[in-house]
Amino acid sequence: MTRATAWWHELSGSAKYRLYSRLTFQAAIAGLVFALTVAADSAVAVLGIVVGGIAAMVAVEAQPDFATVPGAVARPRMLSIATAILVALWVVSGIVAHLAAAESTVVGARVVGMSAALLTIFAVIPFTRRKWWILIALSVATAPVLGVPLGAGLRGTASLLLAGIFAIVLTLLTVWALGIIDELERTKGVEAQLRVAEERLRFSRDLHDVVGRGFSAIAVKSELAVALSRAGDIDRSTAEMEEVRTLAVESMGQMRTLVRGYRNIDLRGEVAGARSLLSAAGCELVVEGEAAKVPAAFHEVAAWAVREGTTNIVEHSSATTATLALGGAGMLLRNDRPQGSIGERSGLRGLGERLAAVGATLDIATSGDEFTIEIHWENQ
């Protein structure tokens, strides 16, 4: 029982509905076979109906639309063999009905032939391409093939047509529902993939912001240490290298925290870090306003903007002066002597995505001697 329960829970919603639909069709065919055998008056007729019922159930079992795995057929020959058996029963019944002398044998043959036609209508025809034409042809041909008198033949033809219309409509509705469920399953899969891709993009963006800032600072301070060492200022060179070591340790710690998903970032700390980093790179940072003026809801994204903007100045400019303005309506970071094109700065694209997520906007302006990042959240 535990295995059966586990197997059921492992099936997808689409597979469960396919299994339910298949079993429903099988149960309907079994009920039809039972009703037909009750009406039969000879053992041979009962045997023929049972054989036809088994073939019909095999045909349903082999239908790709009802496969637990969409589009899969476990035994491709099953459908052909089952259809051939039903056709053979229909043809043989017609031959016997025309050649037999005993009335009971003729009646039994007609019952088996009509049953074969009815089972074919339920188990095979609804799944074919030209189902309506095949239904009409089989319904019209059955009475003459079985030698049924005109009046009874017309009633039999009408009954087969009505049964076929019901079976085809029911099958079309079932297949349509299966298609909707399959589409929902695919949509869920695509949504899951998009969430994974979004999370990977977010992680790569965060990693760029964290590592880029640290590596930029390490590169600048290392160059400064080398220059001081060559100039003979060993004490300052040693101090700078100690700061490089500290930055490396901090960057490693931030990366570990990022991987764990519990990274925190502080606007005041980022402003102080920006001033220190730009000073080491030979750029004076002028800060206008205070971090307290920035709305609390935007403190984190503002901190990321300061971090990315500072990294951008170090990597893409030879700036000597920069201005950071913080206020209740937005913030601005401007530097002189920019280098390179905006398209090369993937970090700014990531920053734009962060801002869009909280409803803020990013404007970038550049000229030959000035680069400006301006952020607005005054409507929040």
Average pLDDT over residues 94-118: 85
Regarding whether 180 and 320 lie in a shared domain, the answer is: no
Choose the final residue of a domain: 134, 164, 188: 188
Range picked from 5-19, 59-73, 139-153 for highest mean pLDDT: 139-153
Q: Has residue 338 got a pLDDT over 90?
A: no
Residue 64 pLDDT: 75
Choose the final residue of a domain: 165, 188, 211: 188
Q: Which helix (H) or strand (E) holds 148?
A: none
Percent of the chain residues past pLDDT 70, beyond the cut: 85
Residue 222 pLDDT: 84
Q: Has residue 56 got a pLDDT over 60?
A: yes
Regarding whether 112 and 7 lie in a shared domain, the answer is: yes
Choose the final residue of a domain: 166, 188, 210: 188
Residue 335 pLDDT: 92
- Pairwise pLDDT comparison (354 vs 330), residue with the higher score: 330
- Pairwise pLDDT comparison (249 vs 210), residue with the higher score: 249
Average pLDDT over residues 77-98: 87
Least Cα distance to 33 among 56, 9, 17, 66 occurs for 56
Range of the domain at 103: 2-188
Residue 343 pLDDT: 57
Q: Has residue 249 got a pLDDT over 50?
A: yes
Regarding whether 311 and 183 lie in a shared domain, the answer is: no
The backbone torsions φ and ψ at residue 341, rounded to the nearest 5 degrees and listed phi first, read -100, 160
Average pLDDT over residues 71-93: 78
DSSP-based three-state secondary structure for 231? coil
Amino acid occupying residue 26: Q
Report the CATH number that the domain containing residue 340 is assigned in CATH. Answer: 3.30.565.10
The backbone torsions φ and ψ at residue 297, rounded to the nearest 5 degrees and listed phi first, read -65, -20
Average pLDDT over residues 265-293: 85
DSSP-derived secondary structure for 22-63: HHHHHHHHHHHHHHHHHH--SHHHHHHHHHHHHHHHHHHHT-
Going by the DSSP 8-state scheme, the letter that residue 380 receives in this structure is -
Count of domains for the chain = 2
- Pairwise pLDDT comparison (134 vs 194), residue with the higher score: 134
Residue 342 pLDDT: 64
Residue 71 pLDDT: 47
Residue 8 pLDDT: 67
- Cβ distance 9 to 19 under 8 Å? no
Order of strands across the sheet that contains 330-336: 284-288, 321-326, 330-336, 370-376, 361-366
Residue 189 pLDDT: 62
Q: Could you tell me which residues come within 8 angstroms of residue 110 by beta carbon, excluding any fewer than 6 positions away?
A: 93, 97, 146, 147, 148
Average pLDDT over residues 45-64: 85
Average confidence score pLDDT of the chain: 81
Average pLDDT over residues 80-86: 87
DSSP-derived secondary structure for 58-88: HHHHT-GGG-SSTT--S-HHHHHHHHHHHHH
Average pLDDT over residues 135-151: 86
Regarding whether 303 and 183 lie in a shared domain, the answer is: no
Q: Residue 88: inside a domain, yes or no? A: yes
Regarding whether 139 and 25 lie in a shared domain, the answer is: yes
Q: Which helix (H) or strand (E) holds 359?
A: none
Q: Tell me the whole-structure pTM to 2 decimals.
A: 0.51
Residue 262 pLDDT: 45
